[in-house]
Chain A
Amino acid sequence: MIESERQARVRKSTSLHLAMEAAETLRQITEFPDNPESMAYFYDIYQSRFKDGMILPQNGKKLVGTMCLQVPDELIVAAGAVPVRLCSGAYAFDQAGGDFMPAKSCPLVRATMGMLQVNNDTMKDNLSTIVIPTTCDQKRSSVEMLRNMDYPVTVLEMPASKESDEARTYWQESVKQFALSIQKTCGRKITAKALNAAVRTKLEAGKLFRSLQQLRTESHPVILGKDIWLVSNSYFFDDPDQWCKAVGKLIAELDSRKSAGFSAINRKAPRLLFTGSPPIFPNLKLPILVEQAGGLVVADETCSSERLLHDAVVFDEKNLNDMVPAIADRYLKPCTCPCLTPNTDRAKKILEMVRSNRVEGVVYQAFSGCLPYEMEQRGISDMLSREGVPMLFVETDYSPEDQGQLSTRVEAFIESIKVRKRKKQ
Chain B
Amino acid sequence: MSSIRKFLNNSDINRFRFYFQLSAFILLVYGGYLAINIGEQLPTFACVFDDKRGGSCYLLGFQHQMASPYARLFSGAGIGVLIGLLTFVGFFIIFNKAWCGFACPLGAIQDWLTMLRCKMGIYYSSYSEPVFKRLSTIKYILLALLILIPMGIGNSFFGLPTLNHDFGVPFCMICPGRTLLPLFNGDFSQLAIDFSSKTKMVFSGLGLGITGMFLAGAFAKKRFFCLFCPMSALHYIFSRASLLRLTKDGEKCTRCGNCYRVCDVGIRAIADDLEHKNIVKDDCMMCLKCVSACPEDGCLKASFLGMPVYESTAEGFFRRRLKEDD
Contacts and interface: CB of A to CB of B under 8 A. Distances in A.
A326 B274 CA distance: 21
A334 interface: yes
A330 B262 CA distance: 13
Contact of A334 (B123, B129, B255): B255
A311 B256 contact: yes
A311 B254 contact: yes
Contacts of A21: none
Contact of B252 (A314, A318, A334, A352): A352
B325 A312 contact: no
A329 B325 CA distance: 22
Given A312-B295, A317-B118, A317-B124, A334 B321 contact: no
Contacts of A334: 254-257
Contacts of B256: 311-312, 329-330, 333-334
A207 B121 contact: no
Given A165-B128, A200-B321, 17 more contacts: A200-B325, A203-B321, A207-B318, A210-B314, A312-B258, A312-B318, A314-B293, A315-B261, A317-B123, A319-B121, A321-B123, A322-B123, A329-B256, A333-B255, A349-B254, A352-B251, A355-B251
B318 A203 contact: yes
Interface centre among A196, A312, A322, A330 (most CB of B within 10 A): A312
Nearest to B222: A316
Nearest to A356: B252
Contacts, number: 70
B271 interface: yes
B255 A345 contact: yes
A229 B160 CA distance: 78
Interface of B: 118, 121, 123-124, 128-130, 251-252, 254-258, 261-262, 271, 274, 289, 293, 295, 314, 317-318, 321-322, 325
B325 A196 contact: yes
A169 B318 CA distance: 27
B103 to A, nearest CB: 22
A200 B322 contact: yes
Contact of A333 (B124, B251, B257, B321): B257
A308 B109 CA distance: 41
A347 B202 CA distance: 58
Mostly, the A contact residues are: helix
A312 B254 CA distance: 11
A157 interface: no
Contacts of A317: 118, 123-124
Contacts of A314: 258, 261-262, 293, 321
Contacts of B130: 165
27 contacts: A165-B128, A165-B129, A165-B130, A200-B321, A200-B322, A200-B325, A203-B321, A203-B322, A204-B322, A206-B318, A207-B314, A207-B322, A210-B318, A311-B254, A311-B256, A312-B258, A315-B261, A317-B124, A318-B118, A329-B257, A330-B256, A333-B256, A333-B271, A345-B254, A345-B255, A349-B254, A355-B251
Pick the 6 closest A-B CB pairs, nearest first: A334-B256, A333-B257, A321-B123, A314-B258, A207-B318, A334-B254
Output the residue of A196, A207, A314 with the most chain B CB within 10 A.
Answer: A314
A330 B318 CA distance: 15
Interface string A335-354: 00000000001001101100
Contacts of B257: 329, 333-334
Nearest to A326: B261
A317 B115 CA distance: 9
B68 to A, nearest CB: 46
A260 to B, nearest CB: 23
A334 B274 CA distance: 13
Nearest to A192: B121
A319 B118 CA distance: 8
B145 to A, nearest CB: 31
Interface string A163-206: 00100010000000000000000000000000010001001101
Contacts of A311: 254, 256, 295
| From A321, A330, A334, residue with most partner B Cβ within 10 Å | A334
A315 B259 CA distance: 10
A220 to B, nearest CB: 20
Nearest to B251: A352
Nearest to A311: B256
A52 B323 CA distance: 42
A165 B260 CA distance: 13
